[in-house]
Amino acid sequence: MSNGRAVNGFLLDITGVLYNSIYKSDGVAIAKSAEAVDFLYKHSNVKFLSNAKGNSNRNVARRLQRLGINIREEDVITPAPVVAQYCRENKLRPHLFVREDVLQYFDGIDTSSPNCVVMGEVEEGFSFERINRAFRVLIDMPKPLLITMGNGKFFQRVDGPCIDVGAFAAALKFSTNCEVLNIGKPSRFYFEQGINALGMKPEEIVMVGDDLMSDVGGAQACGMRGIQVRTGKWRPDFEKLPVTPDLTADCLYDAVKLIADNGFRL
Amino acid sequence: MSNGRAVNGFLLDITGVLYNSIYKSDGVAIAKSAEAVDFLYKHSNVKFLSNAKGNSNRNVARRLQRLGINIREEDVITPAPVVAQYCRENKLRPHLFVREDVLQYFDGIDTSSPNCVVMGEVEEGFSFERINRAFRVLIDMPKPLLITMGNGKFFQRVDGPCIDVGAFAAALKFSTNCEVLNIGKPSRFYFEQGINALGMKPEEIVMVGDDLMSDVGGAQACGMRGIQVRTGKWRPDFEKLPVTPDLTADCLYDAVKLIADNGFRL
């Protein structure tokens, strides 16, 4: 690894890489992630590509700042504003099954007589009646379309793993035979948001994440290098899965330090 | 049809055939279903094979009786007691994601350190936290097993279609890769409960239901004849689906009258 290829930019996952999530609290910073972020702002280029669907970019950044991790709101990429832009460009009228804090991104978008469902709700706002309303919108469409903010199997909270929005997309697909469009990792369209924000070629970028299939595999499929950290939702049995990271490190800080010590090559 | 084969027994679906469901109420009887049931008790043999998962057989029968439909508790077959018996016979220790009213069937079954999940909950008792508890039980098993009480895409309430337990089975399968065992229509094991209760050969029996795939197709796959009624969840586009009923009638009463007028042959 003494040579390797140049690393000019970093895309970082947020949850499970910078901090761990605790239900109805800010969560806890992962050791030395604050230092890693400061270092990257100073010595490289960094953007944050998250599938977080419950909060606005402003509130995602503020939460991290409260944990002592100084990320800037304008460097945060989350699915909701990307989905809203996609709706605008494609003249979609979404039924919104999303958190209150991200509704602001859909201001000005016509939501009457919906021709798709946008889903990004789990945990406290999730209820039978809400998924049933989404189901009823889809079952009445000739060609039902579900846009999901991420398609994960589970997310990790400090108290344990939690079933994620991908499962409820599978539920709605089972009952309505809808098309499912994921705007979130690992979709290429979503990774391109991060690549474009860094303004460089995919091969110059490393993506650091805790989800082997979605973060690491998804980044590699887009021509980036994928780094697995052993934090967040990482599990030892990831080794059995059919994706091989370009690097596996105990935490973000270790990954950053290793690459920096190698002259920003990997 | 002036000849046809003998019909010696009737298996009737309940919801959508005898009555229509209304959220948090007894629902409403379907016209002349009470007369049809009285007639069958007098002139033929009849059992009721339902995927209803929220109430005990006693409360299912009482609800129908309050609507003026005189079905007997001992003739009602629902999944919960069948699942409980299956757990006993197979030494399963279920995590119970079911309605309170059916917990009684699981009395005496060890539910500590569960080795399967039993799911039959939708509507008011469904919550993110409850499906998440089921998810956590499954994700921790080496060979996760989910037993679902029915596997329907949706059920019909008077206010509209509602996403059903089959969707949430698909959700849990997506996130845990669990095996899904349906104990409910259209599983052969479950239809056999009805066949055995009537104590006759499948070819002597007709199943009357509102769900083309589950009731009609499932019965036919077991050697019974399947009758579609145009009540409950019936939709005109059922005609595009790959199951052809042995008879389609506007309602249960019409089906029963037609068969009786033909000398109990179809």
Would you say residue B3 has pLDDT above 80?
no
Q: What is the mean pLDDT of each run of 10 residues along chain A (266 residues)?
A: 86 97 93 98 98 96 98 98 98 97 97 97 90 97 97 92 96 98 97 98 98 96 98 92 97 98 97
- In the numeric block, the tokens 């991060």 are attached to A194
Q: Chain A residue closest to B133 (CA)?
A: A162
User: What token pair was written down for B45?
Assistant: 């043999």
Q: Which residues pair with A76 in a beta bridge?
A: A48
User: What token pair was written down for A253?
Assistant: 């800080």
Whether the CB-CB separation of A208 and A252 falls below 8 Å is answered with: yes
Give contacts of A 199-228 with B, CB under 8 A: none
- How high is the pLDDT of residue A74? 98
Q: Which residues pair with A236 in a beta bridge?
A: none
Helix (H, G, I), strand (E, B) or coil at B212: helix
Quote the CA–CA distance of A193 and A201 in Å, as a whole number.
Answer: 12
Quote the CA–CA distance of A51 and A13 in Å, as a whole number.
Answer: 8
Nearest to B127 among A127, A162, A170 (CB): A127
The burial of B89, by beta-carbon neighbours within 10 Å (0-12 exposed, 13-18 middle, 19 or more buried), is given as: exposed
- How high is the pLDDT of residue A2? 57
Question: Considering only CB atoms, which chain A residues are within 8 Å of B121?
Answer: none
**Quick check: A127 and B126 CB within 8 A?**
yes
Nearest to B174 among A135, A170, A175 (CB): A170
Would you say residue B8 has pLDDT above 60?
yes
Give contacts of A 30-89 with B, CB under 8 A: none
Looking at per-residue pLDDT, the higher value among B238 and B253 belongs to: B253
**Quick check: A175 and B164 CB within 8 A?**
yes
Q: What ipTM was estimated for this complex?
A: 0.93
- How high is the pLDDT of residue A124? 83
Q: Which residues contact A143 (CB under 8 A, 6 or more apart)?
A: A179
Helix (H, G, I), strand (E, B) or coil at B92: coil
- How high is the pLDDT of residue A239? 87
- How high is the pLDDT of residue A203? 98
User: What token pair was written down for B210?
Assistant: 């509102």
Quote the CA–CA distance of B69 and B75 in Å, as a whole number.
Answer: 13
- How high is the pLDDT of residue B2? 57
**Quick check: B175 and A163 CB within 8 A?**
yes
Nearest to B170 among A131, A139, A174 (CB): A174
Quote the CA–CA distance of B13 and B252 in Å, as a whole number.
Answer: 10
Give contacts of A 81-140 with B, CB under 8 A: 122-124, 126-128, 131-132, 135-136, 139
- How high is the pLDDT of residue B123? 86
Would you say residue B1 has pLDDT above 90?
no
Whether the CB-CB separation of A245 and A212 falls below 8 Å is answered with: yes
Domains and CATH numbers, chain A: 9-78+186-261 (3.40.50.1000), 79-182 (3.40.50.1000)
Average pLDDT, chain B: 96
Nearest to A171 among B135, B139, B171 (CB): B171
Question: pLDDT tens for residues B152-177?
Answer: 999 999 999 999 999 999 999 999 99
Would you say residue B148 has pLDDT above 60?
yes
pTM of the shown model: 0.94
Would you say residue B41 has pLDDT above 90?
yes
DSSP string, A57-69: HHHHHHHHHHTT-
Q: Chain A residue closest to B139 (CA)?
A: A161
